[in-house]
Structure 1
C-alpha cells in the first residue's frame, strides 16, 4: 500500500494556501496566483499546459515530484470549481478542460451527489458525498501500490491532517504575504501530530519544505 501525501502545495509566508473570494475570474482567490510563480515557470508546468520551454532545476524537480507516483487523487469541491450548493446541471467539468492533469481516478468531496465524469487522458472524477473516510478508502483501493495525493484545497488538507492519515507533506513557501485567505495551520499543532521537517531546499522562488513522521 502506498503513502498518503500532499505535494506541491504553495503557501504564503503567513500560512495562507489560497486567497479570499474564489470565483471564475479568480480560481485561486484574490492574489492567489502570487503563491505559484515557482511552479508556473517550470518545464513540468509548461508541458502540463501544452507550452514549450520552461525552466529546469530544483523547482522543476519538486514540480515533477508533486505529480509523480500517484494512483489516485482527492480534491475538495472548491478545487474542482466555484459552484456551491446543488449541482445545477452537468456542464461544469473542472477548471482544466477535457484532459485534466490527474490521469487517474480523482475523488471530489461534496455534500451533493453527482454521477462520475470520465475525461480524456485517464482522469475520472468521482463525487463522494459520504465523507473523507469514504473518499480515502476508495482512493486507496484505486491506487493499489501507488500513493494517494490529497490535492487540496486548504480545508481538505486540514481535514486529513486532523484525521491523522497524511504520511508526508510538501509545502512550497512563497516569499509573499497575503494577509488574508485560507489559513493552513490555524489550530493545528504539527509536532503533536508527529510531524517534523525532513527536507528543506531554498530556491529564488520558494523554500520547499517536506514534513514527515
Structure 2
C-alpha cells in the first residue's frame, strides 16, 4: 500500500506521468483504503486553505517566560530541496495532527482577533520531514524534549492552576471556547504519543508532538492574560 500512498501527493498535484496517472487511477478504482487516504488528503488541503490569517499580538506572558531557559542551541531546519517529497504513512498521520491543532487554535484566534506568540522549542533539534539524525543519541535527546520536558510541564501546570483560580472572572462563552480548544490540543498530544509508540524513531512525529505542547502553552498564556485583564 505504501507504494501507492507515497504517490498520492503527486497525484493530487497532477505531477505524475500519463502512465503513472493511469496506473494510479486503476489502483484507486479497486483499493478502498487508498481512496480513503486520498479523500482525507483532499479534506486536509481544503480545510488548511480555509484557515483564517490573524495579525501578530504582543507577548502577554512576562511572568513565566523568564523561567524557561532559552539559551539552548536550536538547529534550524535544513534548506528545502527543490525536488518534491512524497508522503509516507507516518508523515500523513503527522500532517493530520498538525491540521487538528491549527483548526482548534483558529477557532480561538478568530474569536478574539489575535495570535499567541510562539515559543522556540527548548533544547530540541529540528530536522526536515522524513529525515533522521546522524546518531541515535541525537534522536534520544529530541524524543526526551518532545515528550517530557519538566520546564514545559511546570509552566503548563502553573498556568492551568492560575486559569482554574480565575475562570469565574471569564464569561461562560469564553470558558466554553477555551475548554474546547484545550481538549482538542490534548487529544492531538495523546494521538501523537500513541503514534510514536508505533514509530518511536520518527523525528517528524516528535516534532509535531513538541509543536502540540507549545501550542497548548501558548493558548494557556493567552487565557491567563484574559484572566488578568478581567
TM beyond 0.5 = no
User: Where is the helix percentage greater, Structure 1 or Structure 2?
Assistant: 2
Larger radius of gyration: 2
Taking structure 2 as the reference length, what is the TM-score of the superposition? 0.22
Select the structure with the greater relative contact order (CA < 8 A; seq sep ≥ 6).
Answer: 1
Taking structure 1 as the reference length, what is the TM-score of the superposition? 0.23
